[in-house]
Structure 1
């Protein structure tokens, strides 16, 4: 092979390499992946929970982020209020985080940096064109997509489906089947297999009891709940009544004790008081202890003396009459 042919071949290979590089850098206006296309809305990126779902492998398709969605995030990050600016910047960070995940298939679709008809309408058009679905948290977009016959993935509905059947404070009727880890605990199960540990119920195994959920735990092995019997709890009204009664009882006891103490202090002499002061104190206590005579008592006490005076007067009058009679004779 001559030198001229070798140079010509090298030039051709260089041109092909440059063309392939330019083609790779051109904006992607079509979706290469053959799996289900999931078009991501702005609300999902600003929310941020998509990273946790993608990390667990429950996406089940290719995440398609249109350039118009990124343009809306950029607009909000520059011109919105402080709260929306922070959330929009967080949404841009979420896009970068999804791109760095090895197990997540994500593409940026170059549909233009600005959607003149609106981002929601652009997402509906792209979903129809590529026969994909929309991942959103927007309630209105969800309703419109359902009317248009487009599949919708809503993270709020997913969270609602994964929430606990019973929240703390709710009551339920459950059958206790076995003992718990502690001697005072009993264990029952919900229809979905959730374990419920009931405190202070080991003697009620085999019975149905009404319990109130105290707290719940979600682990990789499953979920479990802790509850207590409703019969052991008192209503706020009963607690208030019992507290009032106890206060009244304690108040009455304190009054009785104080009265007894005052009586004992008034009757018993004090050892530390001098003899002269003690006698005066005793005299005063005796004086105050003796009840004062009322008018009725005075009248009752003076009746014998009045009778005696009247008798003496009568005897004296009789003697005077007898003396006068003797003088006449």
Structure 2
């Protein structure tokens, strides 16, 4: 990881040096500027700016999906071809300044329009080969980035085994570092969660339920793991698999597709209707007087009225209402008449 960072830094330094020296030499060879002592140093500044522009351009291009790059390039080429055809209309103009200026203006207009329109309209082609092409380059909708909460949760393995998730699972290196940090925590509960996450990763690799890829992208300007996950998803044009409600909302605002495991589990919960009779085991007392608390197999909390004195017993209760909250679903029930007599 450090070797890659150092290699990238050295490459950038070499690029800046070459461009600066090249600007110095080129400016010194221009006849109109040769008489001025400051001219070569202006060339150094221009070369320096070109080097930074190239570095910025590479960072920008890396974040773009491959289809946008291909569409923009095709649009640019078509725009320049149109300019080439229109340039024949300026052949008869004797004034070279007008001819050159007209050509430059046309190149800027049609090049820009072609690049923008091409990058947008390429989606409408709907070529069957796009999906295959995306997989071959490893960038597309088939990439799923796992965050720390999804790995620790462990249900991702059950989802893969059931065949409801496909594609390449991407494990960012900064997520691995966060898991290791949690596993080394002095807090016993955090340490347990961190070790569970590392065990889940080991199972994912051993059981080969999906292709696992470790991604080593660097985001030195970002400190929060959630921000890095969103930036990586944009760069790879990938989805995020998570249990984090806040991360889901932030990612959706940025146009990133989110696969929330809790939302999936909630959608798969069995439908319970008012009047239905449930067989439950009262596990603890509720907040209100006389209430007993039980749970369905999927973890849904059930409030049973007048069941506080039946702790540890199995009862039959009739559903009266269902409440959907931000934390999940709550079911309110009352004891059947035959069960009410058991309190005494």
TM range (shorter): 0.3 to 0.5
